[in-house]
Amino acid sequence: MKSANELLTELVRHAQPPSGWAITLTESEPKISGDANWIAGAGVMDPAALDRYCRKIVDLRKSDMLIDWSAVPGNPNGERKRIEK
């Protein structure tokens, strides 16, 4: 099982977003069996970067639906864990 940081690094490396644009991962509780435990988000990107990002999300949803969030510090307010690069 990949860590949240490993998955995010892979996504950023593949998508190659414009300099200064963050890609985020937010912890999510699966609602039904087969749901992922993460949600990705990104800022505005040019069409080529957006295409790379979307294609990689599809691949990662198939290969890494569940990731390990244990190394990501918890939020004192009880909000979902979140990381960005």
User: What are the tokens at 43?
Assistant: 């800022």
**pLDDT 10s per residue in the chain (85 long)?**
999 999 999 999 999 988 888 999 999 999 998 899 999 999 888 899 999 999 999 999 999 999 999 999 987 787 899 999 9
**Which DSSP state fits 80?**
P
User: What are the tokens at 50?
Assistant: 């957006």
Predicted structure pTM score: 0.90
SS3 call for 12: helix
Residues 6+ apart with CB under 8 A from 66: 1, 30, 36, 37
Pairing of strands 23-27, 82-84: antiparallel
Number of domain units in the chain:
1
Place of tokens 């294609």: 55
Could you tell me the residue range of the domain that residue 29 belongs to? Answer: 4-84
